[in-house]
Amino acid sequence: MEGEFGSFIKVWTSLFVCIFYCYSIGKIVPKGTTRLVCALPVVCLFFYLPLNFSSIHLGGGTSFFISWLGSFKLLLFAFGKGPLASDPSISTGRFLAIACLPIEIQENPSPSTSHLNGQNPKNPPQNPQIETNPSPKNTIHIVIKGFLLAILIGVLNYSQQIHPKLILVLHCLYIYLLLETQLIIVAALAWGLLGLDLKPHFNEPYLSTSLQNFWGRRWNLVVTSILRQSVYEPTLNFSTCVIGRRWASLPAVFASFLVSGLMHELIYYYMGRVRPTWEVTWFFVLHGFCLMVEIVLKKALKGGCRLPRVISVVLTVGFVVATCFWLFFPQFLRCKADVRMLQEYRAFVVFLKNAVGLFLY
């Protein structure tokens, strides 16, 4: 554990130096190819840094924060796009936070309402978003989900006595609660230290009424935003020139899911250091294809023949969970990631007890 924390300090010190370098070149190098050439060494380094960790949590978290989101943000920044380029007068602290953390600033937040899109409460949006910034209601949600995560970790310690199918269901809940809890903590730190008004990461994905609703408006919205700017929009513009605007969204959607699958495959490699089996990529390819079919059907039906909301939720969430069982989790379980994560929790608890005992002594 001590060695991992030493690697953590080295990696994130190197990271801060690299981000400050990118912030500096943004002030003196014009956007375009020249800035891209200057930023590429940093992007390559971002893909190397997670290899310094042997733990699931530090390696997986760093690869998600840096190798995926951080590198994509820098590539967008090289061409004057994305969250790092949205404010020319951005401070060094904000640049560092946005580049290193999975957060996105909420532009022009409304001070008088909890609706993050600034609409009048009398006319709420079709898919209202939850708040990320601390509030009494949101704090209760965080506490409840943190409590459920702690219970779930305790239950998973007895996984040998639980049916394998139920274990897969528990892992679905575990991944969701762990990811949302970690991202909310990161967002709360950014809000507390820098006063940033942030967009939410999740919007009750268990209430999704379609795959389009799940992936576009409810699940990991910061990743969705980055993929939209870095993959979807460029592919959409190219496809529009080739096949026309009506169907250009189809290859754009598929390209976004393919890139997402490859990046998840990379994160799995960082966590397990085993040769990819491409099951995770096929999971996202399948969802991309199904989402394309959904878009075509919606265009053909023109909004007619809608299923009742309850049925839509059951079918959508059921499909996501079933395909997770089939393609997403096998590679995760094959490299014993679940066992290693629980071992790391125990080691962390022991480390904290020793540290507290040493401090009190």
Tell me the DSSP string of 188-221: HHHHHHH---B--S---GGG-SSHHHIIIIIS-H
Which range marks the domain in which residue 327 is found? Answer: 203-354
Q: Are 4 and 53 in contact (CB under 8 A)?
A: yes
Assess whether 232 and 349 both reside in one domain. yes
Q: CB-based burial of residue 72 (10 Å sphere; 0-12 exposed, 13-18 middle, 19+ buried)? A: buried
Within a domain: 39: yes
Q: Are 104 and 83 in contact (CB under 8 A)?
A: yes
Within a domain: 220: yes
Residue among 197, 223, 195, 194 nearest 92 (CA): 194
Q: Which of 89, 105, 121 is the last residue of a domain?
A: 105
Gap between the Cα atoms of 41 and 328, Å rounded: 32
Assess whether 165 and 303 both reside in one domain. no
Contacts of 193 (CB under 8 A, 6+ apart): 97
Assess whether 142 and 23 both reside in one domain. no
Assess whether 238 and 331 both reside in one domain. yes
Q: Which of 198, 214, 244 is the last residue of a domain?
A: 198
Tokens of 100: 């290193």
Assess whether 6 and 72 both reside in one domain. yes
Assess whether 240 and 321 both reside in one domain. yes
Full-model pTM: 0.83
pLDDT score of 211: 94
Assess whether 162 and 62 both reside in one domain. no
pLDDT score of 261: 95
Q: Are 66 and 100 in contact (CB under 8 A)?
A: yes
pLDDT score of 348: 67
Q: Which of 177, 198, 219 is the last residue of a domain?
A: 198
Gap between the Cα atoms of 342 and 159, Å rounded: 11
* pLDDT tens, N- to C-terminus, the chain (361 residues): 567 778 888 998 999 999 999 999 999 999 999 999 999 999 999 999 999 988 888 888 889 999 999 999 999 999 999 999 888 888 888 899 899 888 887 765 443 333 333 333 344 334 444 444 545 455 676 777 777 877 887 777 777 777 777 877 787 788 788 888 778 777 777 777 777 777 788 888 989 999 999 999 999 899 999 999 999 999 999 999 998 888 899 999 999 999 999 999 999 999 888 888 899 999 999 999 999 999 998 888 876 677 889 999 999 999 999 999 889 888 887 877 777 777 777 776 666 666 666 666 5
Assess whether 274 and 313 both reside in one domain. yes
pLDDT score of 119: 38
pLDDT score of 183: 81
Domains in the chain, number:
3
Assess whether 209 and 144 both reside in one domain. no
pLDDT score of 48: 93
pLDDT score of 126: 41
Tokens of 107: 């532009």
Rounded to 5 degrees, what angle do the CA atoms 59, 281, 71 make?
45
End-to-end Cα spacing for the chain: 21
Task: Report the b/e string of 162-191 with b at 16+ CB within 10 A.
Answer: eeeeebbebbbebebbbbbbbbbebbbebb
Gap between the Cα atoms of 29 and 13, Å rounded: 24
Assess whether 220 and 77 both reside in one domain. no
Numbers of helices and strands, H then E, in the chain: 15, 0
Within a domain: 121: no
Strand, coil or helix: what is 123? coil
Assess whether 98 and 226 both reside in one domain. no
Rounded to 5 degrees, what angle do the CA atoms 185, 218, 237 make?
115
Assess whether 267 and 224 both reside in one domain. yes
